Amino acid sequence: RGKRAFIAGVADDNGYGWAIAKALAAAGAEILVGTWVPALNIFETSLRRGKFDESRKLSDGSLMEIVKVYPLDAVYDCPEDVPEDVKANKRYAGSSNWTVKEVAESVKNDFGSIDILVHSLANGPEVTKPLLETSRRGYLAALSASSYSFVSLLQHFLPIMNPGGASISLTYIASERTIPGYGGGMSSAKAALESDTRVLAFEAGRKGKIRVNTISAGPLGSRAAKAIGFIEKMIEYSYVNAPLQKELLADEVGNTAAFLLSPLASAITGSTVYVDNGLNTMGLAI
Ligand code: NAD
């Protein structure tokens, strides 16, 4: 049978998560997605009304099928963790079973197991603030949504992942080189995510024969990136300075993800793989 993939962090057709879903669908995988609770309604409505049909098209002309959309908020591991004001919030009260533990249980009940886990989500409430001006709360929120969320997802999904399966996350070079403007602890969160990739590769490799890698992606004008505020500048900078002077397509990240998540990459684990037109290799902007 084909592989089954759970992709956390898809809420429209502009981001890396969507492109990864498409590349996996094109390779024959069954697609389940986890969508952030506040974005769930609009995503499902748009899907149903055919707003994404053009971008659901695969190269053979068929449309990517999303078998099921699960509401998810990856900053909460179990119902006991959810504060009262969030529970009472209209958008959250309208859905159920969206903590990480419950989503893993739901997927288990619905499908039994998965082969592929994708983490394509991040959030940093103070991302526009320099680190020097970031509050403890903002910093920890960035780490919770962008780094621990992956630890938690893997922790809860590993027991239902078939041996030989693989997982992946998305990171950014601000973890290792200073990118002024990528603030609020988001640079720290990506550093944690990359370090965790190595440790989790060891632990999940030994425990479940699961591979863990991360893609360090170049700039893309996704919804999340636009919220940071200088994405157009980053795209232009990359275009001018990278070895490959071309637009970076989300599909190029999607294709690399599909490779890393496939048996073609069966000896690759714990790696940070750059998909950035080579920008990371440059030492001097010209
Ligand atoms: P995106 O907006 O498509 O994806 C981010 C998703 O995270 C959104 O769907 C959002 O709803 C979801 N999300 C936020 N908080 C959540 C939570 N608590 N629980 C569940 N979902 C939550 O944007 P993107 O840029 O494609 O981001 C995907 C990944 O790629 C992120 O890890 C991001 O840091 C990484 N990345 C992006 C770029 C870029 O330039 N866009 C570059 C390198 C890495």
* Residue 179 DSSP class: -
CA proximity to 7, closest of 158, 193, 168, 218: 168
Of all residues in the chain, the percent with pLDDT exceeding 90 is 97
Q: Whose CA is nearest to atom 26 of ligand 1?
A: 15
**Residue 271 CA to chain centroid, in angstroms?**
16
Look-up of token digits 């170049």? 218
**Going by C-beta distance under 8 Å and a sequence separation of 6 or more, which residues neighbour residue 86?**
76, 92
pLDDT 10s digits, 130-171: 999 999 999 999 999 999 999 999 999 999 999 999 999 999
Active site (annotated) includes residue 239: no
pLDDT 10s digits, 89-131: 999 999 999 999 999 999 999 999 999 999 999 999 999 999 9
Long-range contacts of 138-144 (CB under 8 A, 24+ apart): 138/184, 138/185, 139/184, 139/185, 139/188, 140/185, 141/75, 141/185, 142/184, 142/185, 142/186, 142/188, 142/189, 143/185, 143/188, 143/189, 143/192, 144/75
pLDDT at 1 over 80: no
Relative to the CA of 231, which ligand 1 atom is closest? Answer: 40
CA of 210 to the centre of ligand 1 (A): 23
Mean pLDDT of the chain: 97
**Taking a C-beta distance cutoff of 8 angstroms, is the pair 201, 181 a contact?**
no
Comparing 229 with 286, the larger pLDDT belongs to: 229
The per-residue pLDDT for 111 is 98
The per-residue pLDDT for 160 is 98
**Mean pLDDT, range 23-29, rounded to an integer:** 98
pLDDT 10s digits, 43-85: 999 999 999 999 999 999 999 999 999 999 999 999 999 999 9
Pocket test for ligand 1, best of 7, 16, 153 (most atoms within 8 A of CB): 16
CA of 15 to the centre of ligand 1 (A): 7
The structure's pTM equals 0.98
Relative to the CA of 10, which ligand 1 atom is closest? Answer: 9
